[in-house]
Chains A and B, each alone.
Chain A
Amino acid sequence: MRIRGAAEAIRDLGSIEELRVETETAQRVGEAWGIMAYATDAALDAVRARGLAIDVLMDNERLAAHEATVRSQIRDVPGAAAARPAPAKPTGKKQGA
């Protein structure tokens, strides 16, 4: 699934009103429009000023707390980091060539 952050949405759409409409549409079809993406403070302030429920956009503080919690739940295997393959070195060839 594709996401777009609130900041990008405002920039692309050009107005907060269109963001509101698009966000409602996105909710209807289930697209995660900005809910799990970081937004600029200015974008969040603009959204608040227009009365849009901030939960739709999930403010950065809550999002950061959520991400920190989930990141603490990552499980690796013992010794995996040491055994992990080294990234392939660039070959100089163009992709797909």
Chain B
Amino acid sequence: MARTTAAVLAEIHQLALDFPTLCTEGTDFPRSSHRGHPLRYLRIASPAAGPRQAVLITAGLHAREWAPPDAVLDFARRLMRAYATPRATIDLPALTGSTAIEYVNMSGSAPAPDTLDLPATSINRPRIVAAMDRLEIYLAPLVNPDGREYTMAPVVGPPSFPSSYWRKNRPPADGVDPTTVVTGVNLNGNFPVPGPTAGTLWDELQRYYSPAAGLGTGDINASNNPADPELYVGPTGGSEPETELVMWLVANKRIRFFMDIHTSAHLISFPWAMEQNGTDAGMRFDEPAWDSTPATSTSPHRAPSGQPGRDGTRGTVYRELMPDGAPHRLARTHLTVARNLRDDIAGAAGPDAEAISQSTYNDRTYSGLTEGPISELLYAAPASGMDWVFSRQFTDPTLAPIYAFAFEAGAPNEGGFHPNYVTQYPKHDREITLGIMRLLTFAASWAPPAPPAPPPAPAPAPSGNGWCPCTIATAAYGTPWHPRLAYIRRVRDEELRATRLGRAFLRAVEGGYHRLSPPVARYIASRPRARAFTRRCVVAPVYGAIRGCDRLASKIGARESRVRALVGLFSLLALAGLLAVAMVAWWLASLIARVGG
């Protein structure tokens, strides 16, 4: 049965009563929804001692997607009941015969629904025990209680968009009847990414996307119009109490693994949602060189000439950085987990596995179960919860990365947002159980990567194989993993080190540098102001110079010629720098002489 908002809140409370040693009801989030519903969550963990990783599962951000909150609650009860029963497993029954899944034939002419038979499947005990003993599992089963209540109330609104298809939250309209005025915010577009910003979220999106992207009119799923029935992003990032609940949990519960559950596109997605993915460390949401700025602006930060900038579409130049370097290997790990999840669901479908993993099966067209970055599968979706969770590692380099997913269970032809709870919901339920368990199994087996090897001690005569290009910059940022250092490393290792001239240039530069830098690095490492000064006044200009030279040289095709150009440009800049230093020294000396004389 589909639970109302009150029934969801009652079940959250009941779970905590039924499993008091395994589960607590989170009542400490200080805000309630716009219409007074408490914003609750569950914490599930066994009493066993030992280090734990924290996982957050969210559902019900979109009001009309009825199945995920129910399935998350059903999963929680199943998990704890199995753990509390000796030798028990989680058993998902067969869906055949009278309980076979009903779907709408999307390409044939027969009007009657067809059926899909699924065999029984189970989750073994070691996976259950590992999840309960090694993890803290936070569940926010219903992030948007007001919206769900509205969709389940007697239907109002025009037939083309009845209230049962409401997607956003339900803040009261100012001074007007909320049942007749389109209001509310798309919660999954209200997170402060690519911010944070002092202005509105829309300002931030306008900064991020190029004018050519058609923000607000094109295929980028965002709107600045509160009357937009699906896409209004809200006044500011994180403005809504429901959005804030998710942000509060992520920040306060040390979340390392995240999954937001939706229906019904049959997708397993991971960042980024706002742009296609890439590997260039220079293409980041906080990189001002790619910002879109008004034509009248005098800002030097503009998308490079001739580039379309961030346009939210596939196949163009800009690709948001999805790092794949050691130790986290984020790109390949996300893809692997998503593929494993897909295989779990398809594998549990038995002989009909192809029916849910392929687009076409027995001359019928199905929605395929597909994995990948959501911007490349569905549409560009800015300011989503998944992107915000993932972006935190960049906005605050002291934070560890969070593995983030958005799972769209069920297919449109299986009841869409409102599946029949007898003949269609069981498949949504099964998929969501398998999906959450896949993430929990990954999280329970995950070990923090070994800390990176310390930078090699500066040798009097360096070999030129240094792991980190700059001990001073490393001390300034407090980490060798800052994207600017990664960029410099890439230029050094992939460009300069690839040719004889480049290697000779590196030997000349590094020889002197490695003699001078250790005492400087030691001095600034323990002084926050010195580190900040070095970041702003030394590393940033040097990074800018290297980046500019690299961009100029990148227009040259042959590597030998490119490296010659790079070395030439670097040498010119170094000479100019030395000349500037000499002039300042000469001016200071003259000044001192005049004052002294």
**What residues make up the interface of A, taking CB atoms closer than 8 Å to B?**
1-3, 5, 7-8, 27-33, 35-40, 53, 55-56, 58, 60, 62, 66-67, 69-71, 73-77, 80-81, 83-96
Contacts and interface: CB of A to CB of B under 8 A. Distances in A.
B278 interface: no
Contacts of B109: 53
Interface in B60-107: 62, 65-66, 104-107
Contacts of B35: 85, 87-88
A32 B265 contact: yes
Contact of B2 (A3, A27, A32, A73): A73
Interface in B396-441: 408, 411-413, 415-422
Contacts of A8: 160
Contact of A1 (B34, B65, B162, B415): B65
A32 B172 contact: no
B105 A3 contact: no
Interface string B125-156: 00000000000000000000000010010000
A73 B36 contact: no
Contacts of A5: 160-161
Interface string B160-176: 11101101000111111
Contacts of B377: 29-30
Contacts of A56: 106-107
B411 A75 contact: no
Task: Specify the main secondary structure of chain B where it touches its partner.
Answer: loop
A27 B358 CA distance: 12
Contacts of B342: none
Contact of B265 (A31, A77, A85, A96): A31
A88 B2 contact: no
Contact of B108 (A28, A39, A55, A87): A55
B175 A90 contact: yes
A76 B6 CA distance: 7
Interface string B495-506: 000000000000
Interface stretch (B46-54, B229-237, B304-312, B576-584): B229-237
Interface residues of B, number: 70
Interface of B: 1-4, 6-7, 10, 34-37, 62, 65-66, 104-109, 111, 149, 152, 159-162, 164-165, 167, 171-176, 178, 221, 230-231, 234-236, 239, 262-267, 359, 365, 367-368, 370, 377-379, 408, 411-413, 415-422
Contacts, number: 167
Contact of B7 (A67, A76, A96): A76
A29 B107 CA distance: 15
Nearest to B421: A73
A38 B174 contact: no
A74 B160 contact: no
B379 A30 contact: no
Contacts of B65: 1
A67 to B, nearest CB: 6
Nearest to B170: A87
B482 to A, nearest CB: 33
By Cβ-Cβ distance, the 4 closest A-B pairs, closest first, are A96-B235, A80-B6, A36-B416, A85-B36
A36 B418 contact: yes
A95 B173 CA distance: 9
B235 A30 contact: no
Contacts of A89: 172
A29 B267 CA distance: 8
25 contacts: A1-B263, A1-B265, A1-B408, A1-B417, A2-B221, A2-B230, A3-B417, A5-B160, A7-B160, A29-B378, A30-B266, A35-B106, A35-B412, A36-B165, A53-B108, A55-B105, A55-B111, A70-B418, A70-B419, A75-B1, A85-B36, A87-B178, A88-B34, A90-B172, A90-B176
A76 B4 contact: yes
B126 to A, nearest CB: 33
A1 B407 CA distance: 10
Contacts of A55: 104-108, 111
A62 B175 CA distance: 38
Contacts of B160: 5, 7-8, 37-40
A29 B420 contact: no
A30 B408 CA distance: 10
Given A80-B10, A87-B36, A32 B416 contact: yes
Nearest to B152: A74
Nearest to B262: A1
Contacts of B4: 74-77, 80
A50 to B, nearest CB: 15
B421 A28 contact: no
B445 to A, nearest CB: 29
Given A1-B62, A55-B111, A76-B7, 10 more contacts: A29-B265, A29-B377, A32-B265, A36-B415, A70-B419, A75-B3, A87-B178, A88-B36, A94-B235, A95-B235
A31, A80, A94 pick with most chain B CB within 10 angstroms:
A31
A74 B417 CA distance: 14
Given A73-B1, A75-B2, A80-B7, A53 B107 contact: yes
A83 B38 CA distance: 13
Contacts of B359: 27-28
B420 A30 contact: no
A19 B523 CA distance: 66
A35 to B, nearest CB: 5
B274 to A, nearest CB: 15
Nearest to B36: A85
Contacts of B417: 1, 3, 32, 36
A66 B6 contact: no
Contact of B175 (A38, A77, A92, A96): A92
Contact of A58 (B2, B104, B267): B104
Contacts of B152: 71, 74
Nearest to B64: A3
Contacts of A35: 104, 106, 412-413, 416
Nearest to A70: B418
Contact of B420 (A38, A58, A70, A76): A70
